[in-house]
Structures are given as structure tokens and as C-alpha cells.
């Protein structure tokens, strides 16, 4: 966090909280929910419902370092806060606990809430200046060209496992595709992707290594900006540098970092959750097979029930105010509870009712900071999944659904793995482009539950589709991307059978 000149400093902690402060009082009395505790980590949805039952639409929560915040559980309260920057600022320098020296300089919250010179932390005219540079530069991307890139990258990834007959779809597709596309949009060589995926995820988790991961991401982007200053190209880094808003180099670096941070993990989660739903929910598959729903419609349903970002830190009260019956003090931190707000009984009395194609969820937030990259995120997810299903039309879950598990941080929930199986096949990926966002016909035809999946070896009966010898060749061909990913990514990889 960049301190203002008069900032008292964060090295001597222990400053007493303001007397009578309801947020600190809830922590002291033990009634605040612990957003960094085991209950939240094990079952975030259950945790939000418990908080809703205890506290209503605005609940006191405890963050790392015993810092208090208000978590918004109500749909209306989330929108009210997101849409009223005059009362609830995006500028974290309003944060009372930080101004008064109660936030440690190595707090794991700082990579996410520490003030940076970027639009996320700005209000009013300054926000408009920075956001215009970002949205106008992002609008320069040719959407059809982008979908073609997504299709091409998806084929490359599917080539890696298509001949095996089984794949782990979180690490094999969902964790790789968004970063491949984003590094390409930013103007970076593709091979930067794997390390950036790890570093961005780590810094958002708020772990002890969050600060060093943050430094790695920032340094990589500084080098990119220096290169693009010398040799501009058709990419986001070059367009931000030349935008009439006159961004400084530091501002360009921070906005590229913002795109990576918000764009990657979110789109990964959206892809993983949509794939899980496609593979596990019989209602979902039956609707798709009925032909009444496109994949983009289905994605909106998933965005209601599994928002890729469950919690957005944050907003800071600019003065004493009231919200959802709570007294909020000037400088209090508020967290948008997007996952909780999306299932608020006040707007969804029947939680089982399908929300296909309904875009009024909170998953992209609202107000002036509403996600400007949502169409890019949707395009990556729906084109990627569509292409995958076109290549592997009999894709099915390889383990009982009860074996699927998630990891949760204070901000998001991440599906650990999604093992799938299918009839092994080769593929000449260049012939199988899809840009429609409509599900592959083969998948639609087969997506209703079937006891014994039929032999798919001849299903992709198109010109240039290679037969068995090419399948074997495909299984031997392991791309540079896969081997880089394996080398750089820590932890065990799923076994190849």
C-alpha cells in the first residue's frame, strides 16, 4: 500500500481500535465470522448462510491479523454499495485500520487491498481517466479474432490428451486456457503463462508467499512494458502506452497486472464450474440436449450459483452511515459478498429455479467498477468449452461426483480437479473451429444421461480427420507448453494412465 505523506506508519502495531466501534466489538466478542478460518475454508456457502442467519444482510467478519470488515450478504446491499461510490469508496486509503497503523506492513491482505495507482482504487474523474484507457484499449481487440485464438489454444491443449481417453480438465484446460489467451492479449510470449498462473493465484490467496509472488508478477510486467515502449505491437500493453489518457509506465504496469489478476483466476473458475455442471447436473444436460439453451445461457446459470469471485475486497466508508440496519463507521472496510448476494432469498426464493441466460447476477459486480472484461471472460469460457466438447463429444466424469473437492481462499473457491474420460481420438484441430458459442451437435445428441456411452471412434467423421495412425502420432506429440507447464508448476501432477 502506498502511504500518504502523513501516514503514521505500520511498523508499530497494537494501536487500540476506536472505542465503541461495532466492527471491532464483534471481533472482540467473538460474534464475527472468521473469513480466514477453517469453517469458511471447508464450506464457504454454508458459512455465508450461517452468517446470514446470525446477522442478516450485513455481517461482521474477521480477516487475517484480526482486522474487521463487513461482509455484504444481501443482493440489494451489494448493489447499493457498488453503486454509491460517494458513500462507499473504492480508494483503500480511506481504510481506518490502515490509517491508524493496525495493518502490518507484511499483511497478506495488502497485495489485494493495498492502494495502487490503478482504476480499481480510484473514484470519480480519476477512475474515468484510467478506466477509459483500459476499456478503449480492450475494445480494440477484434472479437472474432480473439475467439479464433481461443479455439486455436483449446485445440493445442486438447491435442495433449485427446489420444489418452482420459484427462484432468482443471489442470488440462481450465487453468491453462485463460492465461494463454491473456498473455497473448497483453503482448507476452506464450511461455510466460505457467509461472504467471501460479504467481497470480498465490498472491490472491493471501498466503505468506503472496508478497514475493506479487513482486514476480510486477517485475515480469515491467520488463514487458519496457520492451513495448521500444517496439510497440498490436497488444494491450502497447495500446495502453499510447492511449490519450496519458498513463505513466507505472500505471500501465499496474493495469496489466490488474487484467492478469482479475481475468485469469476468474475465467479459470468459470470454466471449471461450467464444465463440472455440464458433466454432473442431469437437469443441465437434459436442457442442453433439448436444444433450448446455448452454452452462453448455461454460463449465466453457473455465474449465479458459483461466482468466480465469491468476495470482492472492498469498499471503504467515506463517513458514518447506515446499511442493512448496521451502523457503519467512516473508514470501515466492506466486502462485496457476490456469492452470498446471488443466493439471497429476497431475490431467489426458489433456489432451484433455473437462471439460464439471466444476466442480473452480481458476479461481475455493478456500478462504476463493474467488470469491463466480462465479455472476454465469457468468450474464453464458452468458446473453450464448446471447442472441447466438439473434439470430445462423449466427455463424461471419470469419478463419482462426491469425490470432487474445492479449495477456498477468502476471495474465491477453486475446483481442485475434474477427472474426465472419453473415447480416445486423434484430431486435426485446424478443421474443427467453432465461434458460435453453441454446443457441438454431437455433444447435444449424446448429452442426455446414457448407461453405456457408444463407440465414438468414428464420430468426428469429417474430411481430414486422421484415423488411428495419426492418433498414435498425436499421443506422442507433447507440446512445449505442456512440458513447460510440468516443469514450472509445483506439486504432483495427475497421473497419466
Minimum Å distance from CB 428 to ligand HEM? 29
Whose Cβ is closer to ligand HEM: residue 33's or residue 373's? 373
Whose Cβ is closer to ligand HEM: residue 267's or residue 277's? 267
In this structure, are residues 76 and 346 in contact, taking their beta carbons and an 8 Å threshold?
Answer: yes
Whole-angstrom Cα distance, residue 45 to residue 48?
Answer: 5
- 458 burial type by CB count under 10 A (0-12 exposed, 13-18 middle, 19+ buried): exposed
Minimum Å distance from CB 76 to ligand HEM? 16
How many CB atoms are located within 10 Å of the residue 452 CB?
5
Q: In the chain, what's the furthest Cα-to-Cα distance?
A: 76
Whose Cβ is closer to ligand HEM: residue 108's or residue 263's? 263
Whose Cβ is closer to ligand HEM: residue 129's or residue 229's? 129
Whose Cβ is closer to ligand HEM: residue 23's or residue 362's? 362
Minimum Å distance from CB 5 to ligand HEM? 25
How many CB atoms are located within 10 Å of the residue 257 CB?
22
Whose Cβ is closer to ligand HEM: residue 153's or residue 161's? 153
Minimum Å distance from CB 343 to ligand HEM? 16
In this structure, are residues 255 and 119 in contact, taking their beta carbons and an 8 Å threshold?
Answer: yes
Minimum Å distance from CB 13 to ligand HEM? 27
Point out the residue whose Cβ comes nearest to ligand HEM: 373
Whose Cβ is closer to ligand HEM: residue 26's or residue 134's? 134
Minimum Å distance from CB 78 to ligand HEM? 9
Strands 413-415 and 406-408, sheet pairing:
antiparallel
Whole-angstrom Cα distance, residue 48 to residue 55?
Answer: 10
Which residues make up the interface to ligand HEM (CB under 6 A)?
Answer: 82, 119-120, 131, 134, 258-259, 262-263, 266-267, 270, 308-309, 312, 363-365, 369, 371-374, 376-377
- 49 burial type by CB count under 10 A (0-12 exposed, 13-18 middle, 19+ buried): middle
Minimum Å distance from CB 359 to ligand HEM? 12
Whose Cβ is closer to ligand HEM: residue 78's or residue 474's? 78
Q: How many CA atoms lie within 13 A of 19 on its CB side?
A: 0
- Which grid cell sits at 44? 464457504
Measured at the CA of 366, the angle between CA 317 and CA 21, to 5 degrees, comes to: 20
Whose Cβ is closer to ligand HEM: residue 285's or residue 369's? 369
Minimum Å distance from CB 319 to ligand HEM? 20
Minimum Å distance from CB 371 to ligand HEM? 3
In this structure, are residues 330 and 320 in contact, taking their beta carbons and an 8 Å threshold?
Answer: yes
3-state secondary structure of 444: helix
Whose Cβ is closer to ligand HEM: residue 148's or residue 396's? 148
Minimum Å distance from CB 377 to ligand HEM? 3
Whose Cβ is closer to ligand HEM: residue 414's or residue 425's? 414
Cis peptide before 310 (omega within 30 of 0): no
Residues linked to residue 52 through DSSP beta bridges, in sequence order: none
Whose Cβ is closer to ligand HEM: residue 132's or residue 459's? 132
Whole-angstrom Cα distance, residue 11 to residue 104?
Answer: 6
Whole-angstrom Cα distance, residue 304 to residue 302?
Answer: 5
- 413 burial type by CB count under 10 A (0-12 exposed, 13-18 middle, 19+ buried): buried
Minimum Å distance from CB 127 to ligand HEM? 6
Q: Per-residue b/e over 159-184, b at no fewer than 16 CB within 10 Å?
A: bbbbbebbbbbbbbbbbbbbbbbbbb
* DSSP 8-state class, residue 402: G
Considering Cα of 346, then 351, then 357, then 359, what sign does the dihedral take? Answer: positive
- 312's enclosing H/E stretch is strand 311-317
Q: How many CA atoms lie within 13 A of 255 on its CB side?
A: 30
Minimum Å distance from CB 310 to ligand HEM? 10
In this structure, are residues 169 and 396 in contact, taking their beta carbons and an 8 Å threshold?
Answer: no
Amino acid at each position: 500500500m502506498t502511504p500518504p505523506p502523513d501516514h503514521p506508519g505500520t511498523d508499530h502495531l497494537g494501536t487500540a481500535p476506536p472505542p465503541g466501534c461495532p466492527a471491532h466489538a464483534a471481533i472482540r466478542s467473538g460474534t464475527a465470522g472468521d473469513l480466514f478460518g477453517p469453517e469458511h475454508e471447508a464450506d464457504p456457502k454454508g458459512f455465508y448462510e450461517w452468517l446470514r442467519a446470525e446477522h442478516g444482510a450485513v455481517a461482521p467478519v474477521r480477516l487475517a491479523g484480526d482486522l474487521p470488515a463487513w461482509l455484504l450478504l444481501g443482493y440489494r446491499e451489494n448493489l447499493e454499495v457498488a453503486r454509491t461510490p460517494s458513500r462507499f469508496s473504492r480508494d483503500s486509503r480511506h481504510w481506518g485500520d490502515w490509517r491508524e497503523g493496525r495493518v502490518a506492513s507484511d499483511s497478506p491482505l495488502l497485495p489485494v487491498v493495498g492502494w495502487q495507482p490503478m482504476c480499481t482504487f480510484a473514484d470519480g474523474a480519476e477512475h474515468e481517466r484510467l478506466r477509459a484507457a483500459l476499456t478503449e484499449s480492450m475494445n480494440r481487440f477484434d472479437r472474432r479474432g480473439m475467439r479464433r485464438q481461443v479455439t486455436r489454444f483449446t485445440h493445442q491443449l486438447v491435442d495433449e490428451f485427446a489420444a489418452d481417453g482420459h484427462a484432468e480438465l482443471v489442470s488440462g484446460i481450465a487453468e491453462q486456457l485463460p492465461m494463454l489467451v491473456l498473455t497473448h492479449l497483453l503482448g507476452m510470449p506464450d511461455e510466460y503463462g505457467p509461472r504467471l498462473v501460479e504467481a497470480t493465484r498465490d498472491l490472491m490467496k493471501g498466503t505468506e508467499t503472496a508478497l514475493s509472488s506479487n513482486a514476480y508478477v510486477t517485475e515480469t510486467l515491467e520488463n514487458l512494458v519496457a520492451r513495448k515502449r521500444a517496439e510497440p505491437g498490436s497488444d494491450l500493453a502497447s495500446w495502453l502506452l499510447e492511449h490519450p489518457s496519458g498513463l505513466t509506465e507505472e500505471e500501465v504496469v499496474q493495469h496489466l497486472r490488474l487484467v492478469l489478476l482479475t481475468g485469469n483466476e476468474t475465467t479459470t473458475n468459470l470454466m471449471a464450474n461450467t464444465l463440472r455442471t455440464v458433466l454432473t447436473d442431469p437437469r443441465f444436460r437434459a436442457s442442453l440436449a433439448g436444444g433450448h439453451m446455448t452454452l452462453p445461457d448455461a454460463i449465466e446459470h453457473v455465474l449465479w450459483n458459483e461466482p468466480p469471485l465469491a468476495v470482492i475486497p472492498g469498499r471503504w466508508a467515506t463517513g458514518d452511515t447506515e446499511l442493512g440496519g448496521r451502523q457503519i463507521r467512516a473508514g470501515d472496510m466492506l466486502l462485496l459478498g457476490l456469492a452470498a448476494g446471488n443466493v439471497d432469498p429476497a431475490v431467489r426464493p426458489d433456489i432451484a429455479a433455473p437462471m439460464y441466460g439471466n444476466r442480473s447476477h452480481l458476479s461481475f459486480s455493478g456500478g462504476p467498477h463493474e467488470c469491463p472484461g466480462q465479455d472476454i471472460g465469457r468468450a474464453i469460457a464458452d468458446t473453450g468449452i464448446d471447442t472441447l466438447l466438439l473434439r470430445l463429444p462423449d466427455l463424461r466424469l471419470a469419478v463419482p461426483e462426491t469425490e470432487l473437492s474445492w479449495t477456498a481462499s477468502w476471495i474465491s473457491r477453486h475446483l481442485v480437479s475434474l477427472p474426465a474420460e472419453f473415447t480416445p481420438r486423434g484430431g486435426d484441430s485446424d478443421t474443427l473451429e467453432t465461434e458460435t458459442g453453441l454446443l457441438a451437435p454431437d455433444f447435444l445428441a449424446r448429452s442426455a444421461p446414457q448407461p453405456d456411452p457408444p463407440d465414438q471412434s468414428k464420430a468426428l467423421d469429417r474430411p481430414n480427420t486422421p484415423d488411428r495412425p495419426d492418433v498414435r502420432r498425436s499421443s506422442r506429440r507433447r507440446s512445449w507448453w505442456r512440458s513447460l507447464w510440468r516443469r514450472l508448476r509445483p506439486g504432483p501432477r495427475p497421473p497419466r494412465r
